[in-house]
Amino acid sequence: MRLSVRHVTRYVFEAPVKRLIQSHRLWPSEHGGQRILSWQVDTGAANAGAGFRDGAGDWTQTVSMKGPVTEFAITVSGVVETEDLSGVLRGYREQVPASAYLTSTRATAPTVELRTLAADALDGLDGASTLDRAHALARAVRDAIAYAGGRTEPATTAAEALEGGQGVCQDQTHVLIALAHIADIPARYVTGYLFATEDSVGAEASHAWAELFVGGLGWVGFDAANGCCPDARYIRLGSGFDASDGAPIRGVVEGAATETLEVSVAVTQGGQQQVQQ
Amino acid sequence: MTRQEQTFFNEMLTGSDVRAAYESLQRWQADMPSELRTLKQHEAEELFRRVGITFAVYGEGGDPERLIPFDMFPRVFTADEWRKLDRGIRQRAAALNAFIADVYDRREIIKAGRIPEHLVTRNEAFEKAVVGMRPPRNVWSHIVGIDLVRTGRDQFYVLEDNCRTPSGVSYMLQNREIMMRMFPQLFHENRIAPVDGYASALKRTLASVAPQKCDGEPNVVILTPGQFNSAYYEHSFLADLMGVDLVEGQDLFVEGDFVWMKTTEGPRKVDVIYRRIDDAFLDPLCFRPDSMLGVPGLMNVYRSGGVAICSAPGAGVADDKAVYTFVPEMVRFYLGEAPILENVPTWQCAKADDCKYVQENLSELVVKEVHGSGGYGMLVGPKADKAQIEAFRAKIAERPENYIAQPTLALSTVPTFVDEGVAPRHVDLRPYCLVGEKIELVPGGLTRVALKEGSLVVNSSQGGGVKDTWVLAE
Amino acid sequence: MLSRTASHLYWMARYIERAETTARLMQVGARNALMPDIGGGYRNDWEAILQASGTLEVFRDKYGETRQRNLETFLFFDQDNPASVMSCMAQARENARVVRTGLTSQTWDAMNSSFQDLKRMHRTERSKLSLQDLAEWTSNACALIRGSIASTQLRNDGYHFMGLGFTLERADNTARLLDVKYYVLLPSLTYIGSGLDQTQWVTLLRSMSAHRAFHWTYKGEITASRIAHFLILNSQFPRSLLTAVQGTCEHLDHLARGYRQTSRAQSAARALYGELAEAQVEDIFDEGLHEFLARFMRQNAGIAGIVQDTYLIGEPA
């Protein structure tokens, strides 16, 4: 499937800030399920630093801007050819060992409730394959956390989301990672884009899902929000331990400021190969 | 003296005979009238206070500018003793660096089954952010502090390794300065190897790992958390001796491909950062987002080869107490040599058998937290009461993987000035090994002494003091 | 040089100068208190002094009445008073501690031992310390620090940032001392020339260690206009506004030369210097002494602001 993405992030500062600096992981990497036909990240007048590919295979780059800055926009646009590999991340180059993703963070720390949920989900699956167990955990998350915007915050942890029983794709993904860790399955947070069909959820902005490491297959994506594994509708951007670690944009500004953030994401099918260069 | 205490190795005496290395010190001490001693002790304290050496103890309140007690009685190593230590320390520093480089690259040692994978990749100090990174010269830990204890004439054990930012070297240097100033005749009578080359060796080491993108003389800086840090004195002392700038996170910023410091003449590029802040605080865009101490964007510049960070982020993976057990294995694996320095036998509570043994013998053992430091969160079995032992029993049962145990070592003693005169007190030793283009080690180190009679805990945060450490020239 | 280092050196100097000024204010107050109580002089006098150091409110909240013992404690030892000698010396020493690497061991020693002395004095019974002793101790301690700086510090940029701290603060402080005397004690011009006025002017001169210097410079009677000339326009008196601003100009010129980069601070300081060099006492009295001093303090603060922006923040321009 050929997908076009246009993703605009705009910051407007009430009072001008002295300096702005961000670390971007906004470039999708090639793998068996996606081929990049064109991709551009436009940050206007900002000064871009040297980029590098990190151990997890993500292209990373710094941008900074000298103040006074009152407005800053990042425009990501590109065309990607995708293929449905049933969620399996094939032919992806990375160096971080899977076992490093057994590490929990504040957002994915296990609690008694999470342990109970994992145990219930895996009940009777003692001899089952890791893949089956992973599917069972993903189902459990979908049943335990109803998709609902506005009920959780960026800092909400897996445990808190489970207690509330509602959340967005970030919360569902955190819970799934926590459950996987409890089941001793390496798991990580993945960000990307989803070509929305009528029944898909969580695609208003950039999307997120989990990858669990299944021996023999490698990393396999699980989108608990949509109860499926990523297919040709998904573009994979980058990964991390949790939403904060895996965020495509991390930044700070110098000088206290109230900021307004506008994000718009459009993923369309087909699309011209709008290459400008 | 109890029977047990008689078994401690006394570094000055064999029976009632004074070892040759200590002869002149024995005379010096015996000839010193007690009034002069008191006077000199005050003078030393005044000198320390003047130069501003102070040490704040975490969470203890009181005077934030408390001095670490300085004991004037030096500790002496003969040239022979030091030769072996020197070789052993360099060997260990090389192996530790090879290990860190390996675990962030091909992980050969894990593939070879010589160390369990989880000890590495699930280690809190393992940094995903530097996997695949190759710092200049592939050196990760540029200053390796190796804590040694002695239990007999030829028995030295490594207690722990410090691969991140071992502190205390300023005491090594100042103790010597003060001894030379107060007792110059001792330095005429004995041929004592100088330690004052440390600062230039450190600068040489740091400059030697400047990134390739640096042309010309590298701009080296020391990054400190600031004046309220307990080791601030040391940071400023080292900056002064090396003639480099002492910077805080707020003095640096990232722009384009490089890190810059704010100067009165505008931005100036920084090439090598000797950081004295923890990984987690280095860069809010990579690690803890709430860190105010670091430099936003630093890690990206580091990873793209614009700046060197010493020690390298992630170097701590080699120095926790669970990995420690495998250091002799690292020496064999990477260097193909037999380890010169021995480890203290260690029980890992993460292993069921070891844990059982530890729980059954708590009153005999020293129990430590795997990630602890500074003598906190530690049980010294033979010195603990029932309640303390039971409290630890519960802690170990709850998180066994968090603890290791070692036998209570018979730490050697060195004569030390006490109220009643001179008495043996237990000591350890921390030499500072520099790793850059070359491996360098100044002859000496920081001797810490447990000033309380019978105490085996030498940490300054727990009432320990320091001594000048002499290595006699050949 | 690291901007923050420059900033600490600069502020160290400012606090040393400020500590000395507070001690001088104490002397003025104590001496004036020995004068016959004319026109509510005693209380007003102390209040004027507190007002000059901007701490009258803090004092009232803490002690209420203006008793001399309280005042001495407040001005010398009280850490709640940001302008007390103790507070200023603590700040100076803290700034010095941070940039220990930028100071010679003599300078650090002088700074640090002064502070240790001060802590010891703080523990001494108050009745054993006369106000005169305290004030003299301060002058001596500050002279020692200044002397170490002058005789041991490299004449590099750091030296000139310390110099700027001294001259900018001194200009401000002299103006303030003068303003207390004129503005608060003598709100009405008709007092000028009265007997009280004379003695109080003399006290002011004494507090600046300038009493004899004045007589060497000006033969004859002490008049308001001679005093104003001496403290504002005399190029020989080290604490005069003219000398202080001249010092500021020199330090800024050194920096600009060293950095091969002229600064806005230079032109601002030169303009102020030019004005003072040309000025006549009559012009100042015509403008109104208080008005003149207020304007001067604003201009001086303006230069300090530019120094801050140009050198001490270290952002790319």
Whole-number pLDDT of residue C183: 52
Whole-number pLDDT of residue A165: 93
Does B285 reside within a domain? no
Percent of chain B topping pLDDT 90: 73
Report H helices in B71-168: 79-103, 108-111, 117-121
Tell me which residue has tokens 């200009």. C171
Does B62 reside within a domain? yes
Question: What is the total count of domains within chain B?
Answer: 2
- Mean pLDDT score across all residues of chain C: 85
Q: Is pLDDT at C11 greater than 90 in this prediction?
A: yes
Same domain, B353 and B436: no
Whole-number pLDDT of residue B94: 98
Q: Is pLDDT at C314 greater than 90 in this prediction?
A: no
What is d(CA A236, CA A29) in angstroms, rounded to the nearest whole number? 8
Q: Is pLDDT at B264 greater than 50 in this prediction?
A: yes
Same domain, B110 and B166: yes
- pLDDT band of residue B458 (cuts 50, 70, 90) is confident
Judging contacts by C-beta atoms under 8 Å, the chain B residues touching residue A249 are none
* Binary contact (C316, B266; C-beta < 8 A): yes
Cis amide bond preceding B311, omega within 30: yes
Is this model's pTM higher than 0.90 or not? no
Q: Is pLDDT at A226 greater than 80 in this prediction?
A: yes
Q: Is pLDDT at C43 greater than 80 in this prediction?
A: no
- Structural domain for B167, as ranges: 3-120+140-195+320-342+411-471
Where in chain C are the domains? 1-152, 155-317
* Binary contact (C314, B247; C-beta < 8 A): no
Does A275 reside within a domain? no
Q: Decide: helix, strand or coil at residue A250.
A: strand
- Structural domain for A27, as ranges: 2-81+248-269
- pLDDT band of residue B233 (cuts 50, 70, 90) is confident
Across the interface, of B236, B246, B264, the residue whose CB is closest to C314 is: B264
* Binary contact (C314, B263; C-beta < 8 A): yes
Final residue belonging to a domain, choices B407, B432, B456: B407
Q: Decide: helix, strand or coil at residue B435.
A: strand
Whole-number pLDDT of residue B4: 45
* Binary contact (B132, A23; C-beta < 8 A): no
A91-94 own/partner pairs: CB under 8 Å, 24+ apart: A91/A30, A91/A31, A91/A32, A92/A29, A92/A31, A92/A32, A92/A57, A92/A218, A92/A219, A93/A29, A93/A57, A94/A55, A94/A56, A94/A57
Across the interface, of B130, B133, B254, the residue whose CB is closest to A49 is: B254
* Binary contact (A52, B126; C-beta < 8 A): no
Does A276 reside within a domain? no
* Between C32 and B140, the higher pLDDT residue: B140
Beta carbons within 8 Å of B104's beta carbon, 6+ residues apart? A55, B130, B131, B132, B133, B140, B314
Give the residues across from B348 on adjacent strands. Answer: B404
Across the interface, of C97, C101, C109, the residue whose CB is closest to B239 is: C101
* Binary contact (B300, A60; C-beta < 8 A): yes
* Binary contact (A99, B107; C-beta < 8 A): no
Give the residues across from A77 on adjacent strands. Answer: A6, A40
* Binary contact (A50, B257; C-beta < 8 A): yes
What is the pLDDT averaged over residues A85-106?
95
Does B66 reside within a domain? yes
Helix axes B352-360, B386-398, angle to 10 degrees: 170
CATH of the domain at B354: 3.30.1490.270
Same domain, B388 and B433: no
Whole-number pLDDT of residue A271: 67
Does B296 reside within a domain? no
Same domain, B330 and B398: no
State the nearest Cα–Cα gap between B126 and chain A, in angstroms. Answer: 8
Per the rule left: phi > 0, alpha: psi between -120 and 50, beta: everything else, C37 is beta
CATH of the domain at A65: 2.60.40.2250
Across the interface, of C113, C261, C314, the residue whose CB is closest to B262 is: C314
**pLDDT tens, residue by residue, B265-286:** 999 999 999 999 999 999 999 9
| Dihedral sign of CA atoms C244, C245, C247, C252 in order | positive
| Dihedral sign of CA atoms B390, B392, B397, B398 in order | positive
Cis amide bond preceding A68, omega within 30: yes
Does B224 reside within a domain? no
* Binary contact (A21, B296; C-beta < 8 A): yes
Among chain A residues, CA nearest to B127: A100
Instruction: Render the burial of B334-359: b for 16+ CB within 10 Å, e for the rest.
Output: beeeebbbebbebbbbbeeebbeebb
Same domain, B95 and B157: yes
Identify the H or E element spanning B45: helix B34-51
- Residue among A19, A21, A26, A188 with most chain B CBs within 10 A, to mutate: A21
Does B238 reside within a domain? no
What is d(CA A202, CA B84) in angstroms, rounded to the nearest whole number? 65
**pLDDT tens, residue by residue, B150-201:** 999 999 999 999 999 998 899 999 999 999 999 999 999 999 999 999 999 9
What is the pLDDT averaged over residues A154-176?
94
State the nearest Cα–Cα gap between C314 and chain B, in angstroms. Answer: 4
Q: Is pLDDT at B324 greater than 70 in this prediction?
A: yes
Same domain, A125 and A44: no
Least confident of B14-28, B46-60, B101-115: B46-60
Q: Which amino acid is at B344?
A: V
**pLDDT tens, residue by residue, B386-440:** 999 999 999 999 989 889 899 988 899 999 999 888 999 999 999 999 999 999 9
Whole-number pLDDT of residue C209: 74
Q: Which amino acid is at B427?
A: V
Beta carbons within 8 Å of B429's beta carbon, 6+ residues apart? B75, B147, B148, B149, B150, B445, B446, B447, B448, B469
CB atoms inside a 10 Å sphere around CB A104: 18
The CA-based angle A245-A251-A253, given to 5 degrees, is 150
Does A63 reside within a domain? yes
Q: Is pLDDT at B6 greater than 60 in this prediction?
A: no
Q: Is pLDDT at C193 greater than 90 in this prediction?
A: no
Does B37 reside within a domain? yes
**pLDDT tens, residue by residue, C226-273:** 888 888 999 989 999 999 999 999 999 999 999 999 999 999 999 999
* Binary contact (C3, B264; C-beta < 8 A): yes
Q: Is pLDDT at C192 greater than 60 in this prediction?
A: no
* Binary contact (C4, B250; C-beta < 8 A): yes
Among chain B residues, CA nearest to C256: B265
Among chain A residues, CA nearest to B130: A55
Least confident of A146-155, A200-209, B226-235: A200-209
Judging contacts by C-beta atoms under 8 Å, the chain B residues touching residue C2 are 245-247, 251, 261-264
* Binary contact (B265, C5; C-beta < 8 A): no
Contact yes or no for B113/B74 (Cβ under 8 A): no
Across the interface, of A51, A64, A100, the residue whose CB is closest to B126 is: A100
Percent of chain B topping pLDDT 70: 94
C98 and chain B: CB distance < 8 Å anywhere? Answer: yes
Question: What is the total count of domains within chain A?
Answer: 2
Contact yes or no for A120/A70 (Cβ under 8 A): no
Give the residues across from A61 on adjacent strands. Answer: A24
- pLDDT band of residue C196 (cuts 50, 70, 90) is low
Same domain, B155 and B92: yes
| DSSP conformation letters of B287-299 | S-TT-SSS-TTHH
B263 and chain C: CB distance < 8 Å anywhere? Answer: yes
Contact map slice: B 6-65 vs C, CB within 8 A: 49-52
Least confident of B206-220, C52-66, C300-314: C52-66
Q: Is pLDDT at B288 greater than 90 in this prediction?
A: no
- pLDDT band of residue C288 (cuts 50, 70, 90) is confident
- pLDDT band of residue A275 (cuts 50, 70, 90) is very low
Beta strands B347-348; B258-263: pairing state: unpaired
What is d(CA B447, CA B195) in angstroms, rounded to the nearest whole number? 13
- Mean pLDDT score across all residues of chain B: 90
Q: Which amino acid is at C211?
A: H
Among chain B residues, CA nearest to A64: B255
Chains A, B: CB contacts within 8 A come to 99
* Cβ burial, residue C258 (10 Å; 0-12/13-18/19+): middle
Q: Is pLDDT at B461 greater than 90 in this prediction?
A: no
Same domain, A181 and A195: yes
Does B201 reside within a domain? no
Same domain, B387 and B424: no
Q: Is pLDDT at B375 greater than 70 in this prediction?
A: no
Nearest to B86 by CA among B166, B148, B140: B148
Q: Is pLDDT at B87 greater than 90 in this prediction?
A: yes
Across the interface, of B227, B237, B245, the residue whose CB is closest to C2 is: B245
Q: Is pLDDT at A277 greater than 60 in this prediction?
A: no
Contact yes or no for A76/A4 (Cβ under 8 A): no
Whole-number pLDDT of residue B115: 95
Q: Give CA torsion, residues B109, B110, B114, B120, to 10 deg.
A: 100
Does A277 reside within a domain? no
Chain B neighbours, 3+ Cβ pairs < 8 A: A, C
What is the pLDDT averaged over residues B436-459?
92
State the nearest Cα–Cα gap between B273 and chain A, in angstroms. Answer: 19
Percent of chain C topping pLDDT 90: 47
- pLDDT band of residue B65 (cuts 50, 70, 90) is low
- pLDDT band of residue C99 (cuts 50, 70, 90) is confident
Best-predicted range by mean pLDDT among A206-220, B33-47, B458-472?
A: A206-220
Least confident of A76-90, B47-61, B352-366: B47-61
Same domain, A22 and A91: no
**pLDDT tens, residue by residue, A236-266:** 999 999 999 999 999 999 877 788 889 999 9
Q: Is pLDDT at B368 greater than 60 in this prediction?
A: yes
What is the pLDDT averaged over residues B218-234?
90
What is the pLDDT averaged over residues C165-189?
76
Across the interface, of A66, A96, A252, the residue whose CB is closest to B296 is: A252
Judging contacts by C-beta atoms under 8 Å, the chain A residues touching residue B132 are 53-55, 95-96
Same domain, B76 and B96: yes
Q: Which amino acid is at A200?
A: S
Judging contacts by C-beta atoms under 8 Å, the chain A residues touching residue B133 are 55
State the nearest Cα–Cα gap between B240 and chain C, in angstroms. Answer: 5
CB atoms inside a 10 Å sphere around CB C104: 14
- Residue among A19, A22, A29, A54 with most chain B CBs within 10 A, to mutate: A54
Q: Is pLDDT at C144 greater than 60 in this prediction?
A: yes
CATH of the domain at A174: 3.10.620.30
Beta carbons within 8 Å of C133's beta carbon, 6+ residues apart? none
* Cβ burial, residue B216 (10 Å; 0-12/13-18/19+): exposed
Q: Is pLDDT at B319 greater than 70 in this prediction?
A: yes
End-to-end CA distance of chain B: 36
